[in-house]
């Protein structure tokens, strides 16, 4: 009888561990998180983001863990976002037309990540990495540039276009305020 009970307890523990989604066990630092394989199959965070000031178009993907986030809440540990930056030129209608892929950026969140961030630049538990278009070669941009840009966004879990994402994801329409930047 004890063997049967022990076997049931072990089975329950194994099943619960295999279905628990606690995110990655590795603690990344800035520049360490690789571009995830297959990220283009992930849910789209925002696509064709027009950055006229930088002459770029950006496509942003979020992994399934991050896609489960709810408006007004922080993204869960284990969230990864990948942003592709494309060179762009204005089209006849004034909208930017996507050209060559320039860079791939990765933003990941995990328990205790970002702890080694420079003083005054900690963005919660987020870390950042930048790669050239091949997604393998590290880009020259330091992660402190990413950190400084995301730092003011404490109310939206350090994520640019948070409100736009939730408005459009949930079937709404988002109007960017004049001078709306990123």
In order of their start, the domains of the chain are 27-169 (3.50.70.20)
Taking only the tens place, the pLDDT of each residue in 71-116 is 999 999 999 999 999 999 999 999 999 999 999 999 999 999 988 9
pLDDT exceeds 70 at position 137: yes
- Counting beta carbons within 10 angstroms of the beta carbon of residue 79, is it exposed (0 to 12), middle (13 to 18) or buried (19 or more)? buried
> Is the four-CA dihedral 25, 31, 36, 37 of positive or negative sign?
negative
Q: pTM to 2 decimals?
A: 0.81
On the question of pLDDT at 36 being above 50, the answer is yes
Average of pLDDT values for 122-139? 96
């Amino acid at each position: 009888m004890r063997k049967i009970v022990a076997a049931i307890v072990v089975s329950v523990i194994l099943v619960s561990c295999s279905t628990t989604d606690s995110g990655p066990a590795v603690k990344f630092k800035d520049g360490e998180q690789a571009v995830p394989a297959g990220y283009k199959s992930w849910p789209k965070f925002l696509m064709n983001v027009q950055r006229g000031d930088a002459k770029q178009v950006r496509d942003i993907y979020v992994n399934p863990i991050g896609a489960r986030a709810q408006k007004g809440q922080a993204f869960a540990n284990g969230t990864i976002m990948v942003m592709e930056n494309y060179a762009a030129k204005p089209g006849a209608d004034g909208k930017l037309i996507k050209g060559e892929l320039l860079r791939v950026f990765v933003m990941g969140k995990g328990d205790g990540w970002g702890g080694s961030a420079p003083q005054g630049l900690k963005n919660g538990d987020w870390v950042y990495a930048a790669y050239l278009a091949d997604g393998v070669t590290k880009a020259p941009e330091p992660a402190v540039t990413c950190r400084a840009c995301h730092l003011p966004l404490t109310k939206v879990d350090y994520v640019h276009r948070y409100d736009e994402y939730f408005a459009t994801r949930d079937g709404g329409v988002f109007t960017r305020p004049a001078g709306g930047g990123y």
